[in-house]
Amino acid sequence: MTQKQLNGVTIDVNDEGYMTNHAQWNRDVAAALAKEEGVELTEGHWKVLDFIDKDFAEKGVVPGMRRMNKVGGIPTKDLYSLFPDGPIKKAAKIAGYPKPVSCV
């Protein structure tokens, strides 16, 4: 685990740059993380990030594509245009949560 400076804020991240302490996350941190991924956050992005935030609190995991569609009301095509190449893991990273994983 390492520490990283973003806009003057220190955050703890794992080897792949995912935050390991969500308490350090805020909207400015999100914007800075997004920039590193080549994403400029718009209202559409925030709809996704806010849904992940709300859903993680309830379920303890980052929602998958189907849940984003059915519960979050975000179509898959939109996810790909907002967060190209692996939208869920990219959105999870910016939202300050771990990437979706399996058991091994």
61 binds other proteins (CB under 8 A): yes
Q: Other CB atoms closer than 10 Å to residue 69's CB: what's the count?
A: 15
Nearest of 57, 9, 54, 55 to residue 33 by alpha carbon: 9
98 binds other proteins (CB under 8 A): yes
> Has 103 been annotated as catalytic?
yes
Six-digit token pair at 3? 């520490």
From 1, 57, 101, 103, the catalytic residue: 103
Distance CA 73, CA 78 (A): 10
Size of the site for other proteins (CB under 8 A): 32
User: Which spans of this chain sit near other proteins (rule: CB under 8 A)?
Assistant: 1, 14-15, 18-22, 59-61, 64-67, 69-71, 76-77, 80, 84-86, 89, 98-104
